[in-house]
Amino acid sequence: MENVRKIVVEKSNPLPLYFQLKEVLKEKIEKGIYKSDDPIPSERELIDMYGISRTPVRQALNELVAEGLLRREHGRGTFVAHQKIDQMFLKSLSSFGDEMEKKGLSFETELLNKQIIEINSTLQEIFGETHKSFYRIDRLRYIEKDPYVLVTTYIPAAMAPGLLEEDLERNSLYRTLESKYGYNISYAKRVMEAINVAEEDAKILKVSPMAAVQMTKTTAFQIDSQAFEYSIARYRGDLSKFTVEVKYERKQ
């Protein structure tokens, strides 16, 4: 129980009471006082702790749930949601491992499937008719032991002979393509779309059926503008967010 002498919700404050309480709880989450999966005090406890009525307490909790900072479990209470990981890959092209290392997060990769498939209409549209067979590689990426993103990758088989023999759980795919196959990786085009997760993917990602996921389709190119990879990534909506910088273009 918090020390009531440290209450910062003040009725004399012109800001609405629910907003003050919301900011207090948000600060405690951000500072790690309330950690992921921790239960937060009940409505009754918050009323007693902060000396306010049920209406502002309920409104503060509802807004924190809507913003994804809290989650409700029927019959159990309200808990701190898993904090979303801010992905910066809209600004630069780098490996998953490199980005997680920069953030100081533990990560691992599980190889779910690797096979050779024949060309289909989607791959033909991206790579043209030069290549007839492709590697398909399915990997599940974990962060802090939680399933985070399911990635399906396609690479023309002729562009990387023997790639499926490489250890793609311990080694970065991009680093392997650069070091072993001499790729000069340059840029990528990405298309993002919010979707409801497919039933099979939900089981793998350990989310509820029809949960929200962020689907990202990436076509990566070498410096000569030759496409070498097409991937479809499904990021858990409850664990990820994306940041991108945009510049204001002044009218001349």
- Say if residues 174 and 192 touch (Cβ distance below 8 Å): no
pLDDT tens digits along 68-101 = 788 888 888 898 887 666 555 555 666 677 677 7
Burial (0-12, 13-18, 19+ Cβ within 10 Å), 211: middle
Give the integer Cα–Cα distance in Å for 133 and 163: 13
pTM: 0.68
Predicted local distance difference test score (pLDDT) of residue 3: 42
CATH of domain 4-80: 1.10.10.10
Domain boundaries, the chain: 4-80, 85-240
Q: Which residues of the chain have pLDDT under 50?
A: 1-7
Name the architecture of domain 85-240: 3-Layer(aba) Sandwich (3.40)
Predicted local distance difference test score (pLDDT) of residue 1: 40
Predicted local distance difference test score (pLDDT) of residue 5: 38
Give the integer Cα–Cα distance in Å for 21 and 240: 25
Predicted local distance difference test score (pLDDT) of residue 2: 46
Predicted local distance difference test score (pLDDT) of residue 229: 97
Asked whether this chain's domains 4-80 and 85-240 adopt the same fold, the reply is no
Q: Which of 55, 78, 81, 79 is nearest to 67 (CA)?
A: 81
pLDDT tens digits along 227-240 = 999 999 999 887 77
Predicted local distance difference test score (pLDDT) of residue 146: 87
